[in-house]
Every structure is written in C-alpha cells, then in structure tokens.
C-alpha cells in the first residue's frame, strides 16, 4: 500500500502543468530524433541537457526521460518506413517491419510497434514500481561469466535467424564480431586490426556504419535491381477506421511477441552492460522459436515487430533501474542522465529512494504518463509517416541514400566511415545475391563489444578454465540452453538431409 | 551464379586469412596472469570465418546451394547498369562532400538522381535539390548543433550567410 501511495504522489507530480508540458515536448522531440537514421535518444538527451537547468531537477529528469521514451518509439519508424534501423535497439524491428511495409502494410507495422511499445513500457513500469530494490541486488550477481553466457544465448538465437545455410550464418556472425574488434584492444590499450594500416580504423567500426551500409545502401541497391526500379508503394491512405482495424489485427497477431518482449526485455535491460539491444534481439529470437509459424518471421509478421518493440521499451525502463539504485548506467543515454543527476546535486545509489523519494517517485510516475503520451503522439503521427511511403520510389530512394549518408556522418563525424558505408553497401549487395544473411553480422557488431571483454575477464577469473561458464549457478543453465539452441538447427538440417537421402 | 559463388567464397577466405595474420600482431594465446591476449578474439573468429568459407566451398562442390546449381549470369545488363549508376552515384556523392560540402553534395546528388535516373520534372528536381539541403542545414547545424563537412574554401561565403541566419 505504501508503494501505491508513493506512486500516486509521483503520478500527481508528473501531471503538474509544467511537467505535463515537458513530457509532451520531450516525447515529440524524441520521436522525431529517434526516427532519423544515425540519431538516437543519446543525441536528444545530450543536446537538451543544458536546457534542463532552467527547471527543477524533478522536471528536468522527467523531460529527459520523456525524450528517451519518445526516441524508443521513434526507432521503429525508420526501421519500417526506410528499412534502416535508426538505432541498434531497432535492428530486429527491421526484419519484419520492412517486409510488412513492402507488402503495403506499413500502417499495421507502425500500429503494432506503437501498441507493443506501450504494453512493454507499462509492464516494465509495473515491475519497476514493485521490485526495484530486489532486482537491483539480483542484477549485481551477474558477473562477466553470466553476461557472456547471456551474449552466447543471444548469438544462439542468431543461428536460427540466418535460415538454412548455417555456414553462411556462422560466417556472418564471426565477420560482425571481428569487425567489432577493430581499433584498440580495450584491455591492453594497444592498436588492433588496423586494416591495411589505414589510420581511420583506429577509431574502430561502429554499428551504425555497418547497419547503414547493409540496410541503407546494400538493401536499396538490391531492391532497385530486383524490382527493376519499378517498385510502387501500395500503402493506402490512413483513416481512423483503418487504424482501429490495424490495432485489432496487431492485438490478435502480435500478443505473443508483445508478452515475450515485455517480460524478457525488462530483465535483460536491468542487467548492467546489457541494455535494450540484446533485450530486443533475444526477444525476437525467442518469439520466433516459440512460434507455431517460425517461417513467417522475416517475411512480415506483426509478432516479429511486436517482440523487439515491446522489448526495447521494456528494457529501456529496466536500464533506468541500475542507474537509480546502484549508480551504474546501462547505456550511453542513462550515463548522460546519471551525469545530469550528479550536476543537479543528487547522488544515485541505494539511498536515493529514501533521501530523494519525491524525485524518484516523480520520475516513476512520469514513466507511466510518458508512456501514454508517447502512444497517443506516435499514433497521431503515423499518417504522416505513411504519407512518406506513398511517394514514388524514384523520389524515396534518393532521399533514403541522402539520409543514410547524412545520418552516417552525424553519428561518426568521419569521412572514413562514410567510405566504409559505401564499401559495406556494395559488398552487402553482392553477398545478398549469394544468400549470405547479413542481419547476424549487424547484430554481432552490436554485441561484440560486450561479449569480448566479458569472455576475457571470465577466463582471467578462472585462470583459463572454460568450465567457469558451466559451473556457476546462473551462467551454467544459460550456457547449456545456448549450446542446445546452436546445435538444434544443425540437427534439424542433418535429419532433413537424411530423410531426403532415404526417400 | 555458380562461378560467382565460389569466387566470392574464395575472396572471403583470403580476407579471413588476412585478418588472421593481422590479429597475430597481438598475442593470440593465454598469457598467465593477464588472461587471453589482445589477438585471441579476432584470431579465432577469423579462423571461424575461414572454416565457414571452406564449408561453403564444400557445399558448392556438392551443388547444395541454389547458386551453385545455377548457370544463369550473376546480373543482366540492367543489374550492372543499376550498380554502376546508383552505386556509382552514391560513391560520387561521398567523394563530392570534401569538395562542395555535405549540403552541396546532397543538392548535386538529388539533381542527378531525380532528373537523370528518375526522369522527374525540372520543377520537382530543382525544388527538392534546393529545399532539402537547406532544411537539413537548419536541422543539423541549428537544432542539433552537428557540423557537417564544409568542403573547400570557396563554399565559405554560403556558410557565412547561413550561419548569420541561425545566430
């Protein structure tokens, strides 16, 4: 009951006119920033941080959290409409969101994304309200072996994503992981894999460079070549009635993915160093594995949009938990929020809930209000995004190329990276011609920087003994499940081949 | 297609070998007291890439993949033209950024694509090629405070005028 009373106070604080105004502005700004390829919540929060010094700390954090929320909703928009994941958290949304858009069902994809995000956010808010201190202590029991086991589980789900050609999928995963290790060895600090001794590689290869190259350039070239440049959009005009029908269809076909994403996303989001990206990827993989029609995934199923979207919203709320209760930021955005809190004179940590209870509960209350505001604002803007898709392809495609290049530069500030985008794009086009799945490479470059240090730290802890991943109570079961999931597609293929030989 | 698949697998295998060689700049084994060396992760993963390429070649030899059984050409004339005109256009766009600035390169690229590849009207072509770069200038330089490349010095008068509007 005490929690409910604190929550009611928090919601009332969030509903004060100044805070409500900041929530609406924050969500709208976040939505559009998140929808731009190359820009994410971190840009919005960083740029608008100085403005927050004009208002009290509780209003300031509410504003920044609203931007964070809006950007999470916005990430799905570029994944669906442009086919480019604007942020790593929206990579998995592209897998089914883009095929739905190409089938003329972009409105269904966007409505599904909005509703799944809302449910994911709400479930996460309830977990956050009820179990914050308990979950924070559980998250602390995750050391390097447990995090690496979790990464192994995420990679295991990729093998299932790559289709039947397992060697090409394995190549793609290893390729993404090697690209992630270019630049500097994070442990010894020495330069590593500076390809062809070009100094630009010292900066490493960012996720966004590969993602924009593969999806923004390679996928566009492939679409133009396959459709002979005569692609015509079939997205109908949006009406309120059409949106209601889409909402019904989204609820009917996306409930399973939404449920998996909401729960799994939150728990992965809570873990320090994990965050929303592994949460959304794992939710997509698990939803596909648990589906009765796994073959529909990748071809445009609302469940494939719902799972990662519910998960990334749920995980982004979950990522706030270690930041507030332990002072550990789980993502660049929460790191900036943490910095802001320190500047406002607040000390994140276990005492925050006691010493600054009005601030904490105001923030939690604002999560609920921001979530509702984000849903309403997102749904209101869907007709605008659909209108974009009704442009002739010969106008839309150069706009996508321009946004890819501009977004690529905005994210990295490097001409070297722009050339890499072009090279990756043309390379991806040819690899696509020979059925190399490229999504696993993009996912691997995102998770590589988490997986490598945790593997090395774990082996250092165990003096080089790899059984550390099997003997620890949390890491052991996760590792075993991951290995089973890796072997399962190979076993299925082997059985199918034997059946063909026998018949 | 058949020849293309094995050629690509061969190229990727060579690239994997290069990555393995490059990874050995740092120790690839376990160092007592320090854990795995800096080259450990990329070396073994590059070996994984190489082994995958060998399996891909083995599958090609047995005719297991659709491409390995196809005698069709990789692309017809339209396909090659697409790669050259569109892919080349994007490469030229990036090359022009250092000369005429990001915004100038956007305008030229849009003009080329809309007028010559899309065959759109002069009004639409010029309208989009002028309005979009200006809109992006205000978004990035004004709202987001992200500076884009300004090209060679001859573009400076344009930027002076535009910055006067923002500040």
| pLDDT tens-digit readout, B49-75 | 999 999 999 999 988 888 888 888 888
DSSP letter at A243 equals H
Residues B65 and B86 in one domain: no
Of the candidates B26, B78, B119, the beta carbon closest to that of A185 is on B26
Q: Sign of the CA dihedral A91, A35, B127, B104?
A: negative
A268 vs A246: CA distance, rounded Å? 29
Mutate to test the interface with B, among A198, A215, A391, A402 (most CBs of B within 10 A): A402
**Closest of A170, A439, A433, A428 to residue B5, by C-alpha:** A433
Q: Sign of the CA dihedral A13, A15, A20, A26?
A: positive
Q: Helix H segments across A344-356?
A: 352-355
Assess contact for A262 and A123: CB atoms under 8 A: yes
Q: For all residues of chain A together, what is the average pLDDT?
A: 83
Mean pLDDT of A473-497: 80
Residues B16 and B58 in one domain: yes
* Side-chain half-sphere exposure of A180, counting CA atoms within 13 A: 24
Give Cα separations from A443 to A211, A235, A422, A451 (angstroms).
9, 29, 19, 12
Q: Does the beta-carbon distance from B75 to A225 stay under 8 Å? A: yes
A153 vs A157: CA distance, rounded Å? 6
- Residue A6 sits at φ, ψ, to 5 deg, of -60, -40
The pLDDT assigned to A171 comes to: 93
The pLDDT assigned to B19 comes to: 96
| pLDDT tens-digit readout, A204-250 | 998 888 888 888 888 888 888 877 766 555 556 667 788 888 889 88
Chain B residues with CB inside 8 Å of A191's CB?
25
Structure tokens at B16: 């994997």
Window from A53-62, A345-354, A444-453, B131-140 with minimum mean pLDDT: A345-354
A31 burial level (CB within 10 Å; 0-12, 13-18, 19+): buried
**Closest of A262, A272, A275 to residue A146, by C-alpha:** A272
Window from A23-27, A266-270, B24-28 with minimum mean pLDDT: A266-270
| pLDDT tens-digit readout, A123-143 | 998 988 887 767 766 777 788
Of the candidates B41, B74, B94, the beta carbon closest to that of A419 is on B94
In terms of CA atoms, which chain A residue is nearest residue B59? A167
Q: Say whether pLDDT at B15 is over 80.
A: yes
Residue whose pair of structure tokens reads 């076993």 in the numeric block:
A491
The pLDDT assigned to A330 comes to: 64
Quote the Cα angle for A137-A142-A147, to 5°: 150
Q: Does the beta-carbon distance from B30 to A185 stay under 8 Å? A: no
Residues B61 and B10 in one domain: yes
Residues B19 and B85 in one domain: no
The pLDDT assigned to A133 comes to: 66
Range of the structural domain that residue B42 is part of: 2-69
| Residue A183 host element (H or E) | strand A183-184
Count CB neighbours of A255 within 10 A. Answer: 16
Of the candidates A178, A190, A217, the beta carbon closest to that of B49 is on A178
**Residue A297 pLDDT level (bands cut at 50, 70, 90):** confident
**For the CA atoms of chain B, what is the radius of gyration?**
24
Of the candidates A415, A422, A457, the beta carbon closest to that of B149 is on A415
**Three-class SS string for A303-342?**
HHHHHHHHHHHHHHHHCHHHHHHHCCCCCHHHHHHHHHHH
Interface check for A41 against chain B (CB to CB < 8 A): the answer is: no
According to DSSP, the β-strands at B35-36 and B30-31 are antiparallel
Q: Say whether pLDDT at A316 is over 80.
A: yes
Where is the domain boundary, B43, B69, B95? Answer: B69
Q: What percent of chain A has pLDDT over 90?
A: 22
Residues B81 and B162 in one domain: yes
**Residue A9 pLDDT level (bands cut at 50, 70, 90):** confident
More confident residue, A169 or A334: A169
Listed by start position, the domains of chain A span 2-502
The pLDDT assigned to A234 comes to: 56
Quote the Cα angle for A181-A71-A127, to 5°: 90
**Three-class SS string for A406-474?**
HHHHHHHCCHHHHHHHHHHHHHHHHHHHCCCCCHHHHHHHHHHHHHHHHHHHHHHHCCCCCCHHHHCCC
In terms of CA atoms, which chain A residue is nearest residue B25? A192
- Residue A184 sits at φ, ψ, to 5 deg, of -125, 145
Assess contact for A476 and A210: CB atoms under 8 A: no
Where is the domain boundary, B69, B85, B107? Answer: B69
* Side-chain half-sphere exposure of A237, counting CA atoms within 13 A: 1
A426 vs A135: CA distance, rounded Å? 45
Mean pLDDT of A283-288: 87
Q: Does the beta-carbon distance from A405 to B94 stay under 8 Å? A: yes
Give Cα separations from A160 to A49, A286, A482 (angstroms).
41, 10, 11
Chain B residues with CB inside 8 Å of A165's CB?
65
Window from A35-49, A120-134, A431-445 with minimum mean pLDDT: A35-49
| Residue A191 host element (H or E) | strand A191-192
Where is the domain boundary, B69, B102, B126? Answer: B69
Residues B53 and B109 in one domain: no
Q: Helix H segments across B36-76?
A: 40-61
Chain A residues with CB inside 8 Å of B97's CB?
405, 409, 415, 418
Of the candidates A171, A188, A429, the beta carbon closest to that of B49 is on A171
Residues 361-390 of chain A whose Cβ lies under 8 A from any Cβ of chain B: none
Q: Does the beta-carbon distance from B52 to A406 stay under 8 Å? A: no
- Cross-strand partners of A184: A191
**Residue A199 pLDDT level (bands cut at 50, 70, 90):** very high
- Cross-strand partners of B30: B36
| pLDDT tens-digit readout, A84-119 | 776 778 888 988 998 888 888 888 999 999 999 999
The pLDDT assigned to A138 comes to: 72
B125-145 burial, b at 16+ Cβ within 10 Å, e below that, comes to bbebbeebbeebbebbbeebe
Residue whose pair of structure tokens reads 């309208």 in the numeric block:
B127
Chain A residues with CB inside 8 Å of B8's CB?
430-431, 434
Q: Does the beta-carbon distance from A174 to B45 stay under 8 Å? A: yes
Q: Does the beta-carbon distance from B144 to A47 stay under 8 Å? A: yes
Count CB neighbours of A496 within 10 A. Answer: 11
Interface check for A491 against chain B (CB to CB < 8 A): the answer is: no
B38 vs B27: CA distance, rounded Å? 6
Mean pLDDT of B110-133: 93
Residues B48 and B107 in one domain: no
The pLDDT assigned to A470 comes to: 93
**Residue A4 pLDDT level (bands cut at 50, 70, 90):** confident
| pLDDT tens-digit readout, B77-100 | 888 888 899 999 999 999 999 999
A280 Cβ contact list (under 8 Å, min separation 6)? A89, A90, A91, A92, A93, A261, A265, A307, A308, A309, A311, A312, A315
Q: How many domains does chain B have?
A: 2
More confident residue, B43 or A441: B43
Window from A321-325, A468-472, B46-50 with minimum mean pLDDT: A321-325
A262 vs A121: CA distance, rounded Å? 7
**Closest of A389, A337, A500 to residue A109, by C-alpha:** A389
């Amino acid at each position: 009951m005490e929690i409910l009373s604190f929550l009611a106070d928090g919601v009332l604080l969030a509903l004060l006119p100044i805070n409500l105004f900041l929530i609406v502005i924050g969500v709208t700004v976040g939505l559009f920033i998140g929808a731009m390829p190359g820009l994410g919540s971190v840009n919005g929060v960083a740029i608008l941080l100085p403005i927050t010094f004009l208002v009290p700390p509780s209003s300031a954090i509410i504003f920044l959290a609203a931007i964070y929320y809006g950007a999470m909703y916005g990430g799905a928009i570029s994944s669906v409409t442009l086919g480019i994941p604007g942020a790593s958290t929206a990579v998995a949304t592209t897998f089914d969101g883009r095929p739905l858009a190409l089938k003329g069902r972009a409105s269904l994809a966007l409505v599904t994304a909005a509703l799944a995000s809302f449910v994911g956010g709400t479930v996460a808010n309830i977990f956050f309200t009820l179990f914050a201190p308990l979950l924070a202590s559980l998250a602390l029991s995750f050391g390097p072996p447990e995090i690496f086991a979790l990464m192994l589980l995420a990679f295991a789900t990729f093998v299932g994503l790559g289709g039947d050609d397992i060697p090409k999928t394995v190549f793609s995963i290893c390729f993404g992981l090697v690209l992630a290790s270019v630049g500097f060895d994070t442990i010894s600090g020495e330069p590593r894999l500076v390809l062809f001794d070009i100094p630009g590689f010292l900066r490493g290869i960012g996720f966004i460079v590969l993602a924009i190259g593969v999806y923004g350039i390679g996928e566009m070239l492939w679409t133009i070549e396959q459709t002979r440049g005569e692609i015509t959009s079939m997205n109908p005009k949006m009406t309120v009635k059409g949106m209601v029908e889409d909402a019904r269809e989204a609820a009917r076909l996306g409930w399973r993915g939404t449920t998996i994403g909401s729960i799994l996303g939150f728990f992965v989001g809570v873990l320090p160093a994990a965050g929303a990206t592994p949460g959304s990827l794992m939710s997509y993989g698990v939803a596909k594995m648990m589906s009765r029609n796994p073959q529909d995934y990748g071809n445009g199923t609302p469940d494939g949009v719902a799972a990662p979207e519910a998960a990334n919203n749920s995980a982004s709320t979950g990522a706030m938990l270690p930041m507030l209760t332990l002072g550990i930021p789980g993502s660049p955005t929460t790191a900036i929020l943490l910095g802001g809190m320190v500047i406002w004179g607040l000390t994140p940590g276990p005492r925050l809930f006691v010493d600054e209870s009005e601030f904490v509960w105001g923030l939690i209350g604002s999560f609920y209000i921001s979530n509702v505001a984000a849903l309403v604002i997102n749904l209101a803007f869907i007709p605008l995004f659909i209108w974009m898709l009704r442009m002739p392809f010969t106008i839309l495609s150069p706009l996508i190329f321009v946004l890819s290049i501009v977004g690529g530069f905005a994210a990295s500030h490097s001409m070297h990276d722009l050339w890499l985008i072009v090279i990756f794009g043309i390379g991806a086009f040819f690899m696509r011609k020979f059925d190399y799945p490229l999504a696993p490479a993009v996912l691997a470059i995102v998770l590589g920087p988490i997986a490598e240090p945790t593997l090395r730290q774990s082996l250092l802890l165990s003096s080089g003994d790899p059984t550390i991943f099997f003997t620890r109570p949390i890491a052991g079961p996760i590792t075993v499940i991951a290995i089973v999931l890796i072997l399962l597609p190979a076993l299925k293929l082997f059985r199918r081949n034997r059946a063909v030989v026998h018949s | 297609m058949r020849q293309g698949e094995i050629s690509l697998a061969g190229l990727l295998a060579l690239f994997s070998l290069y990555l393995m060689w490059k990874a050995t700049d740092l120790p690839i084994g376990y160092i007592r007291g320090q854990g795995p060396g800096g080259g450990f992760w990329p070396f073994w993963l590059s070996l994984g890439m190489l082994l995958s390429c060998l399996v891909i070649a083995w599958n090609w030899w047995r005719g297991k993949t659709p491409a390995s059984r196809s005698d069709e050409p990789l692309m017809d004339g339209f396909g090659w033209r697409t790669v050259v005109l569109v892919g080349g256009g994007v490469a030229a766009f990036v090359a022009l950024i250092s000369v005429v600035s990001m915004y100038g390169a956007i305008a030229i690229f849009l003009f080329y694509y809309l007028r010559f590849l899309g065959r759109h009207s002069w009004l639409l072509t010029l309208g989009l090629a002028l309005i979009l770069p200006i809109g992006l200038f205000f978004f990035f330089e004004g709202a987001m405070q992200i500076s884009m490349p300004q090209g060679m010095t001859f573009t400076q008068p344009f930027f002076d005028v535009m910055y006067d509007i923002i500040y």
